[in-house]
Amino acid sequence: MSEAIDRNSFSTIKTSHGLDGNSDALKNYYAKWASNYDDDVENQKYIAPSIITDLSLLVTRSYLHKKPQQTTVLDAGCGTGLVGVNLKKRGFGRVDGFDLSSEMTDIAKSTEAYFALKGGVDLNRDQPNWFGRTYELLVCCGVLTLGHVAPTSLRRLANYLEPGGCMIVSTRNSYLADGSFAEVSAQLQAEGVLNELFCVPDAWYIEEEGAHYWIYQRCGAPKE
Ligand SMILES: C[S@@+](CC[C@H](N)C(=O)[O-])C[C@H]1O[C@@H](n2cnc3c(N)ncnc32)[C@H](O)[C@@H]1O
């Protein structure tokens, strides 16, 4: 029988970082954690969803030249919907979301912030485009983190973007330590898939440590 989840919010988050990107272990862990997730991350001053929302507004105006109401957004690894709720409050009209954990997307659904949602989507594997469409803006908050999703998933995320579409991705500082994210990022830029627009380095993320927020644009001319 699997063990019950720790009720100390710091160690609950820490334990999730030791799951080695193993999809079954992550699914089981989040299935048990889902109902307490929001309280635990709030206890640890997890502010990344609101920073990603602020950046989404900036990027939408500055690079997509659109109003939030007109912008299609994908929240990759949406969890319980913390980012979607923030985006909706700030005027974004259509936000779709997916996550590995159906228990997390069930909670996201209850927020009514999302248009379409899908559980069971694994960013560590090549899978079909679940929504059969691409997006002008993609946000990925708290997912490229230790023990979760590998840097190679950046290419899978890029495939969800329209040409000219923008992506905002957080990486915890400790996630960057082995340099493989930088390698994947450089490779995608050398191949002409993504262009890094800017980075907000070592910014506030959660009490334990900061994160970088990376802003990329999918190469190619935007649709008229
Ligand atoms: C720290 S939570 C972040 C959730 C949400 N974006 C937020 O900021 O609150 C990490 C999320 O990544 C999801 N996840 C873990 N491994 C994944 C994978 N291989 N593919 C897709 N999502 C994954 C988890 O289910 C969880 O919802």
On the question of pLDDT at 1 being above 60, the answer is no
Q: Does any domain span residue 26?
A: no
| Spatial separation of the C-alpha atoms in residues 51 and 211, rounded to whole Å | 11
**Residue-level pLDDT at 107:** 98
Q: Does any domain span residue 183?
A: yes
**Residue-level pLDDT at 178:** 85
Percent of all residues in the chain with a pLDDT value above 90, rounded to a whole number = 92
* Shortest-distance Cα residue to atom 17 of ligand 1: 100
| Spatial separation of the C-alpha atoms in residues 197 and 13, rounded to whole Å | 30
Percent of all residues in the chain with a pLDDT value above 70, rounded to a whole number = 96
Predicted structure pTM score: 0.96
Q: Among the residues of the chain, which ranges form H helices?
A: 9-16, 23-43, 48-62, 82-89, 102-111, 153-158, 180-190
Any atom of ligand 1 within 6 Å of the Cβ of 55: no
Any atom of ligand 1 within 6 Å of the Cβ of 30: yes
**Residue-level pLDDT at 222:** 73
On the question of pLDDT at 5 being above 90, the answer is no
Q: Is 52 left (phi over 0), alpha (psi -120 to 50) or beta?
A: alpha
Q: Is 21 left (phi over 0), alpha (psi -120 to 50) or beta?
A: left
Q: Looking at the 3D structure of the chain, how many domains does it have?
A: 1
CATH classification at residue 99 = 3.40.50.150
The 10s digit of each residue's pLDDT in 161-173 is 999 999 999 999 9
Cβ–Cβ under 8 Å, residues 134 and 165: yes
Q: Does any domain span residue 11?
A: no
- Write out the residue range of the structural domain in which residue 186 sits: 48-218
Q: How confident is the model at residue 6 (pLDDT cuts 50, 70, 90)?
A: low
Q: Does any domain span residue 156?
A: yes
Ligand 1 pocket: which of 16, 118, 143 to mutate (most atoms within 8 A of CB)? 143
Any atom of ligand 1 within 6 Å of the Cβ of 83: yes
The 10s digit of each residue's pLDDT in 178-189 is 889 999 999 999
For the chain, helix (H) and strand (E) counts, in that order, are 7, 7
